[in-house]
């Protein structure tokens, strides 16, 4: 497989930019997070930007593999990817900026389902892409637990 550097860079920059812009919009989130009563297993605040950066890179690599594939499901997989990425972008704004913890949890459930469909469609296009999306699916499930805990405890 020949690497298309332009597509690879775009594939990596899109999710990293989405996460970065959401981070800018929700500046002060770390301070707010530190003030929550948190459920058990809550990681320290510094873990989130590290994990999300890794996840966005994995997502970008997965998208690149699908974009490069000749799979008949490629178009659907790419559409699902952008829909879930848009929902991912909105979640921290709902949660941190607006403090809509209950609504954010419901939003996260819908996001998780979209990610699951994206994982399945990515796997159909390129198995490696599907595997690269699994940590994201698992992290969003964990984020759902944390979101629900914050909603209940605060």
pTM of the model: 0.95
What distance in Å separates the CA atoms of residue 149 and residue 154, rounded to the nearest whole number? 8
Phi-psi domain of 28 (left: phi exceeds 0; alpha: psi -120 through 50; beta: other): left
What distance in Å separates the CA atoms of residue 7 and residue 63, rounded to the nearest whole number? 10
For residue 41, the model assigns a pLDDT of: 96
Apex CA 111: angle with CA 140 and CA 125, to 5°?
90
pLDDT in tens for each of the 154 residues of the chain?
Answer: 799 999 999 999 999 999 999 999 998 887 888 899 999 999 998 999 999 999 999 999 999 999 999 999 999 999 999 999 999 999 999 999 999 999 999 999 999 999 999 999 999 999 999 999 999 999 999 999 999 999 999 9
What distance in Å separates the CA atoms of residue 126 and residue 123, rounded to the nearest whole number? 5
Number of structural domains the chain divides into = 1
65: CATH? 1.20.1260.100
Q: In which residue are the tokens 């607006």 written? A: 98
> Whats the size of the chain, residue-wise?
154
Domain range for 24: 5-153
For residue 96, the model assigns a pLDDT of: 93
N- to C-terminal Cα separation, the chain: 51
């Amino acid at each position: 497989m020949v690497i298309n550097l332009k597509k690879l860079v775009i594939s990596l920059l899109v999710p990293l930019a989405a996460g970065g812009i959401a981070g800018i919009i929700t500046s002060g989130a770390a301070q707010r997070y530190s003030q929550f009563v948190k459920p058990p297993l809550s990681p320290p605040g510094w873990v989130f930007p590290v994990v999300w950066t890794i996840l966005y890179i994995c997502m970008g690599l997965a998208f690149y593999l699908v974009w490069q594939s000749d799979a008949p499901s490629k178009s659907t997989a790419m559409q699902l990817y952008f829909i879930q990425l848009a929902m991912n972008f909105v979640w921290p704004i709902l949660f941190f900026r607006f403090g809509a913890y209950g609504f954010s949890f419901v939003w996260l459930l819908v996001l998780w389902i979209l990610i699951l469909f994206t994982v399945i469609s990515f796997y159909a296009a390129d198995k490696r892409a599907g595997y690269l999306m699994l940590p994201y699916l698992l992290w969003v499930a964990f984020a759902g637990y944390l979101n629900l805990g914050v909603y209940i405890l605060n």
